Amino acid sequence: MTVIVLFCRKQFNMIDNKQLTDRFFSYITVDTESDPESNTTPSTEKQWDLANALVAELKRIGMEDVSIDENAYIMATLPSNIDKDVPVIGFVSHFDTSPDFSGANVNPKIVENYDGGDIVLNSEKNIVLSPSEFDDLLMYKGQTLITTDGNSLLGADDKAGIAEIVSAMEYLINNPEIKHGKVRVGFTPDEEIGRGAHKFDVEKFGADWAYTVDGSQVGELEYENFNAAAAVVTIQGKIVHPGYAKDKMVNSLYIATEFINSLPREETPERTEGREGFFHLHTVEGVVDSTKLQYIIRDHDRQKFEARKQTILDLASEMNAKYGKERITVELKDQYFNMREKIEPVMHIVDIAEEAMKQAGIKPLIKPIRGGTDGSQLSFMGLPCPNIFAGGHNFHGRYEYVPLESMQKAIEVIVNIIKETAK
């Protein structure tokens, strides 16, 4: 009788699950929400709390050249342990969380052996994380999920990335028989408000290339991102007593509504995918006398991106002509550009990451980012920097979650990239 034994690739954990969970929880329970209205770096004082803790942790695990500058940018070195010259590579993540949703009082929940059903995040408020709304949950049946309690975001974007980088460095320090070149790590503030790389010292970092660990689903590998701009549209009205308002009052709220409805309704985040661009209205503040609209403008194609910005300007001009006065002003500011043009000349760095994922039993998902990372700006600053997954889903809101197994896979991929680079 012939016996056939089938082997399945088991999850290989480079760090104990409890140690990884404890590390991740120690990060996400520190409020590091950034503030787009602030002119300081970091934009909020509370980001220093985690930044200083990270510096202490990097020193504790044995990293060298650990530094933090006056703007809270953190850098550290894992020295080479081989006697040949190999490229210096880096890994970058950000420690701020999005101002789109509260990052205070994060109270994470652990769902072990997820059964594929609904997860009640908050029974009092009837907040449920359901595969009927988020079908990607079904990819993680049988795994351990870390979720919110429904009252805040989780902060896996991008504290999962930080936990994975630190854990990978600790693993290599504790296993010196694994040969590797010099590795640099960098942690940044204010990525969520588009400033994460603004004061990053690329020359001091000293890497030939780097990877941001800031993606979502297991296997994501990205070297294209949106071109991005912010637009602040201010509408000036005129307030008088409503009882005497005939032919005198100008209600800025109505003009704002007209402006909003004049932009293509199908070109919004909730109705686009892939490389399709959009106009995203994310904030409205107004009274009769004055209303402010805040948009983000995104497109992968540079010409279409420029056309979108011009659409905003043209609409303001047309409506000003209609109302016979400059009631609408627009302030446009570019945020970052598509890094593809900077990565394609050095595509071997993407190939290395792809091979590292395959070695970890992961099918690489190479696709454009419908967003941006520090890497998009760093690439234009002379540090080519594609993006790899950190494992989380549903960022910037109460339904955010991350599978623990995905975090373990990210650690394995980081180590594999380092090993591949040293070959």
Q: Cα(416)–Cα(352) distance, rounded to whole angstroms?
A: 9
Under 8 Å CB-to-CB from 321, ≥6 apart: which residues? none
Distances 329 to 166, 176, 305 between C-alpha atoms, Å: 46, 60, 20
Under 8 Å CB-to-CB from 84, ≥6 apart: which residues? none
Burial of 363: CB neighbours in 10 Å, binned 0-12, 13-18, 19+: exposed
Distances 168 to 58, 138, 220, 415 between C-alpha atoms, Å: 12, 28, 18, 6
Quickly tell me which residue has 């300007």 as its tokens. Answer: 313
- Going by their DSSP bridges, the two strands 209-215 and 387-389 should be labelled as parallel
- Report residue 309 as tokens: 């910005």
Q: Cα(71)–Cα(15) distance, rounded to whole angstroms?
A: 31
Q: Which of 31, 158, 191, 214 is catalytic?
A: 191
Quickly tell me which residue has 């446009």 as its tokens. Answer: 332
DSSP H helices in 346-403: 348-359, 374-380
Catalytic residue status for 191: yes
Exposure b/e, 310-334, CB count within 10 A at least 16 = b: ebbeebbeebeeeeeeebbebeeee
Q: Are 27 and 156 in contact (CB under 8 A)?
A: no
Full strand arrangement of the beta sheet holding 227-236: 278-286, 290-299, 227-236, 328-336
Q: How many residues does the chain have?
A: 423
At residue 249, the 3 state secondary structure works out as coil
Q: Which of 33, 35, 57, 96 is catalytic?
A: 96
Catalytic residues, by residue number, are 96, 191
